C-alpha cells in the first residue's frame, strides 16, 4: 500500500483533474488507483486512457469493496511469449474435421489413405477463414491493440468448421483503428474467397459415383450462388453446375462460397460483428439507432421466405440470425476512446465494404432436397 505508483506507471497528478486518487496499491502486476471521480465516466476514461497507454498500460474503471478504482494492467501482460497451445490444438482439430467432411465432397472413405484427395477443400476453407482473421489481427497489431491469434472452431458439419475468431483486449483507441480492424477481415477474406473461387472453377469437376446418382434415397444439398460468385463464373466462362448428374463442381469452389457467406454474415451491422464496427466507425453513436432495425429486417426476411417465397424450413436460417442479431444488439458495440470522424477515404472504403457484402447475399443459401 502506498501513495505513489511504481516506476513507469502514471502519476496520479497527471489525471488529478478527473480522478482524485487517495491510495495506490500493487496487485499481482496490476496497479490500483483508488479515488473519487471528478467528472462523468466517459470523460474520465477519455482523459486517463492516453496517459496510461503512453506508459504501456491498459486501464479500466472498476468497483472494489464499494470503492472506485482505476485498474491498470501492463499492455503486454497477456502475451507471455509462449506457444499458444489452445490456438494450435483448435487449428489442428479444424484441419482434421474439414478433411473428414471434405472426404464426403470427393466421395472417398475418410478413414482411408484416399482422404488426402480432400486436402484442396481443407486448404480452401481453412485458408479463406485464416486470411479473414489475420486481416483483423494485422490491423490490431498495427494500431497497437492487444489481440489474440485466431481460434478456429472445428465442427463436423457440412463444411467441417463453424469459422474462426480472434479476441481483442482493452479499449480501441480511435474510430480510425476501429474501422481498420473491422473492415480488414471482410476485405482480406473476400480477396481470398474470390481467388479460391476462381481456382475452384478452373479445376475439373468431381465425378459422382453411379450408386449415388441412381439411388432413390439420396439427399441432394442445393446451394444458391451469390451475385459475386456468379460474376466470377461468368468472367471465366465456367459453369456453376452441370446438366450431367454424374458431375459436380470442384469442392474448392465451396471454400470461396463459405468465404462469401461468412463475409455477408460478419457484415451484418450490429454490435461486435465486423459490420457493427464499420457502421460505428462511419456514423458514430447514430449506429445505436440502426442496430435495432437489423433483427427486424432479418425476421421480416425469414417471414417473406416462409410465407411468400415458400422456402419452407430453409427460411429458418434467418430466424436464427435474427435471434443472434438481437442478442448482439443488446450486448452493445464498441466505443472508441477518440470518437473523431473518419477521413473521406475511409468513408468511401466503408461504403464499398458494405456493397461488396451485399454482393455475397443469398436469400436462401442452402436447400436440402430429398
Residue 252 in contact with residue 200, Cβ under 8 Å?
yes
Q: How does DSSP assign 265-288, residue by residue?
A: HHTS-STTSHHHHHHHHHHGGGHH
Instruction: Look at phi and psi of residue 192 and say left if phi exceeds 0, alpha if psi is from -120 to 50, else beta.
Output: alpha
pLDDT score at 3: 56
The proportion of the chain whose per-residue pLDDT surpasses 70, expressed as a percent, equals 95
The proportion of the chain whose per-residue pLDDT surpasses 90, expressed as a percent, equals 56
**Mean pLDDT (whole number) for 325-350:** 90
At residue 312, does pLDDT exceed 80?
Answer: no
Dihedral angle of Cα 256, 258, 262, 265, to the nearest 10 degrees:
120
Count CB neighbours of 66 within 10 A: 5
pTM as predicted: 0.85
C-alpha cell at 298: 432479418
C-alpha separations of 345 from 70, 138, 160 in Å: 37, 20, 38
**Mean pLDDT (whole number) for 209-234:** 85
Q: Which residue, 140, 174, 146, 149, is CA-closest to 334?
A: 174
What pLDDT digit, counting tens, does each position of 255-271 carry? 999 999 999 999 999 98
When mean pLDDT is compared across 1-15, 202-216, 230-244, 344-358, the lowest value belongs to 1-15
Question: Where exactly are the structural domains of the chain?
Answer: 12-74, 85-267
**Mean pLDDT (whole number) for 343-354:** 96
Top pLDDT among 315 and 363 is at 363
Q: Measured between alpha carbons, how far is 155 from 161 in angstroms, rounded to an integer?
A: 4
When mean pLDDT is compared across 51-60, 110-119, 247-256, 282-291, the lowest value belongs to 51-60
Q: What is the mean pLDDT of the chain?
A: 89
DSSP state of 146: E
pLDDT score at 280: 94
What pLDDT digit, counting tens, does each position of 17-75 carry? 999 999 998 888 789 999 999 988 888 888 888 888 888 888 888 888 888 999 888 87
pLDDT score at 310: 80
Top pLDDT among 358 and 159 is at 358
pLDDT score at 345: 96
pLDDT score at 118: 94
At residue 99, does pLDDT exceed 60?
Answer: yes
pLDDT score at 1: 44
Q: Please provide the CATH number assigned to the domain covering 12-74.
A: 3.30.70
pLDDT score at 209: 86
Q: How does DSSP assign 44-77, residue by residue?
A: HHHHHHHHHHHTTEEEEEEEETTEEEEEEEETTT
Amino acid at each position: 500500500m502506498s501513495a505513489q505508483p511504481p516506476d513507469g506507471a502514471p502519476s496520479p497528478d497527471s489525471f488529478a483533474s478527473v480522478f482524485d486518487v487517495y491510495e495506490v496499491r500493487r496487485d499481482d502486476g496490476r496497479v490500483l488507483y483508488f479515488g473519487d471521480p471528478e467528472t462523468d465516466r466517459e470523460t474520465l476514461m477519455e482523459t486517463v486512457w492516453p496517459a496510461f497507454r503512453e506508459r504501456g498500460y491498459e486501464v479500466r474503471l472498476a468497483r472494489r469493496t464499494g470503492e472506485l478504482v482505476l485498474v491498470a494492467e501492463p499492455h503486454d501482460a497477456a502475451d507471455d511469449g509462449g506457444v499458444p497451445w489452445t490456438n494450435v490444438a483448435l487449428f489442428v482439430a479444424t484441419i482434421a474435421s474439414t478433411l473428414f467432411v471434405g472426404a464426403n465432397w470427393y466421395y472417398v472413405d475418410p478413414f482411408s489413405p484416399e482422404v488426402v484427395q480432400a486436402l484442396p477443400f481443407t486448404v480452401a476453407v481453412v485458408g479463406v477463414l485464416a486470411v479473414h482473421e489475420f486481416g483483423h489481427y494485422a490491423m490490431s497489431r498495427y494500431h497497437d491493440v492487444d489481440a489474440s491469434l485466431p481460434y478456429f472452431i472445428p465442427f463436423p458439419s457440412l463444411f467441417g468448421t463453424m469459422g474462426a475468431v480472434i479476441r481483442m483486449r482493452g479499449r480501441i483507441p480511435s474510430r480510425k483503428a476501429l474501422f481498420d480492424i473491422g473492415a480488414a477481415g471482410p476485405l482480406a477474406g473476400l480477396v481470398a474467397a474470390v481467388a479460391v473461387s476462381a481456382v475452384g472453377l478452373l479445376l475439373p469437376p468431381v465425378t459422382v459415383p453411379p450408386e449415388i446418382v441412381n439411388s432413390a434415397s439420396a439427399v441432394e444439398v442445393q446451394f444458391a450462388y451469390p451475385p459475386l460468385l456468379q460474376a466470377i463464373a461468368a468472367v471465366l466462362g465456367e459453369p456453376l453446375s452441370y446438366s450431367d448428374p454424374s458431375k459436380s463442381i470442384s469442392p474448392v469452389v465451396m471454400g470461396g462460397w463459405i468465404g462469401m457467406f461468412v463475409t455477408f454474415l460478419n457484415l451484418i451491422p450490429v454490435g461486435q460483428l465486423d459490420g457493427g464496427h464499420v457502421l460505428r466507425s462511419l456514423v458514430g453513436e447514430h449506429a445505436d439507432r440502426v442496430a435495432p432495425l437489423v433483427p427486424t429486417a432479418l425476421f421480416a426476411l425469414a417471414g417473406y421466405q416462409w410465407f411468400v417465397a415458400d422456402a419452407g424450413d430453409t427460411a429458418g436460417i434467418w430466424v436464427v440470425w435474427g435471434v443472434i442479431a438481437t442478442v448482439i444488439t443488446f450486448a452493445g458495440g464498441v466505443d472508441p476512446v477518440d470518437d473523431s470522424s473518419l477521413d473521406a477515404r475511409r468513408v468511401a472504403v466503408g461504403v464499398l465494404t458494405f456493397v461488396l457484402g451485399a454482393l455475397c447475399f443469398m436469400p436462401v443459401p442452402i436447400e436440402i432436397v430429398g
